[in-house]
Amino acid sequence: MSNFINIFEMSPRDGLQNEKNFISTEDKIKFINKLSSCGFKKIETSSFVSPKWVPQLSDALKVFRGINRAEEIKYTALTPNEKGFDNALEAKVDEVAIFTAASETFNKKNTNCDINTSLNRFKPIIQKAKINKVPVRGYISCISHCPYENYVDPKKVGEIANKLIKMGCYEVSLGDTTGKGSSEQTSKVIAECLQFLTPDKLAGHFHDTFQNALNNVKISLEYGIKTFDSSVGGLGGCPYSPGAKGNVSTEKVNDLLLSMGYETNLNITKIKECNKIALNLKEHGSYE
Ligand code: HMG
Ligand code: MG
């Protein structure tokens, strides 16, 4: 279906990771089960990261074991290193994501190492993933702007995207972490990536802190990108990007795409129900 756009739901991971008060495992499970009724093909369910760094997602294994897994949905998780990948395997995760950045300072704050070291940490993950037939996605944070270094050179993003695909990622998701990327800047970033890659290897991951996200989706579509990350209720933010708000809201992206004649196969009534739950989780720290 050439008109089909894939919306990758991020809220249980990118949405919840930044919430200060611990949301109970039971509520996370209920939320993910509800998200499973919306028509998403993929839900980023949790992260196998250090519980000291991101305490909110320290229950990843319990969450994976507790959810009702729909056959047609891939339940994915972040894995920053081999230990994380081993834990993800134990949880029978359908797909993992490795993550690095186009800014050295952000990468250090986020994963305690420089960009090259993070790429080296991914090698054993890719090897084990191949053996276990687990697809690996790659993220690049700070594609346009870094909270610590400000300007980010689009060339750097292109180089890292190329490296991630060469290593074995099936797709690279371009993260506008701070939400400051204008569509002109995003356009430059995508053009750099397309020197090495075809658009089917790219996805857009736009935080909506400054309401740039929908314009960034539009410009990405012009380049032929067909996968976008979003969160119901616009839930989220990154713990190492101070002040950054959530991913662009799933409902907004869906409305935009439908108005442009694309298909997404999402159930808007169910998404609205999930928006309410997302709001409850954010405001009251609980499902109800
Ligand atoms: P480190 O402290 O340098 O790791 O953290 P280490 O290897 O030195 O180990 C230190 C301790 O952590 C050891 O335990 C390890 O066992 C443990 P101890 O001996 O002290 O008891 N450890 C782990 N435990 C559980 N799972 C693991 C793991 N690894 C080590 N996987 C590390 C390095 C990468 C682990 C840490 O920095 C970390 O967990 N960072 C994660 C940060 C994070 O999750 N950030 C948010 C997600 S990225 C994001 O939001 C951006 C994105 O949305 C795109 C965008 O918007 O830009 C994707
Ligand atoms: Mg993000």
How do strand 202-206 and strand 74-78 relate by DSSP bridges?
A: unpaired
Provide the pLDDT for residue 53: 97
Confidence of residue 93 (pLDDT cuts 50, 70, 90): very high
Residue 1: pLDDT above 70? no
Residue 238: pLDDT above 80? no
- For 208-229, the pLDDT digits (tens) are 999 999 999 999 999 999 999 9
CB 86 near ligand 1, within 6 Å:
no
Cα–Cα distance for residue pair 150/281, rounded to 1 Å:
32
CB 82 near ligand 1, within 6 Å:
no
- For 99-111, the pLDDT digits (tens) are 999 999 999 999 9
Residue 285: pLDDT above 70? yes
Q: Quick one: tokens of 120?
A: 């080296």
213 Cα: distance to centroid of ligand 2 (angstroms):
12
166 Cα: distance to centroid of ligand 2 (angstroms):
23
Distances 287 to 110, 211, 281 between C-alpha atoms, Å: 28, 27, 6
Residue 206: pLDDT above 60? yes
Q: Which amino acid is at 22?
A: F
Confidence of residue 258 (pLDDT cuts 50, 70, 90): very high
pTM across the whole model: 0.98
Mean pLDDT across 83-108: 98
Q: Whose CA is nearest to atom 31 of ligand 1?
A: 84
- For 105-142, the pLDDT digits (tens) are 999 999 999 999 999 999 999 999 999 999 999 999 99
CB 244 near ligand 1, within 6 Å:
no
Q: Whose CA is nearest to atom 12 of ligand 1?
A: 50
Provide the pLDDT for residue 32: 98
Q: Which amino acid is at 185?
A: Q
Start-end of H helices in the chain: 25-35, 60-66, 82-90, 104-111, 115-131, 154-167, 183-193, 213-222, 250-259, 268-284
Q: CB neighbours of 211 closer than 8 A, spacing ≥ 6?
A: none
- For 21-75, the pLDDT digits (tens) are 999 999 999 999 999 999 999 999 999 999 999 999 999 999 999 999 999 999 9
Q: Quick one: tokens of 66?
A: 């507790």
Q: CB neighbours of 198 closer than 8 A, spacing ≥ 6?
A: none
Q: How many CA atoms lie within 13 A of 154 on its CB side?
A: 15
Spatial contact of 177 and 147, defined as CB atoms under 8 Å apart: yes
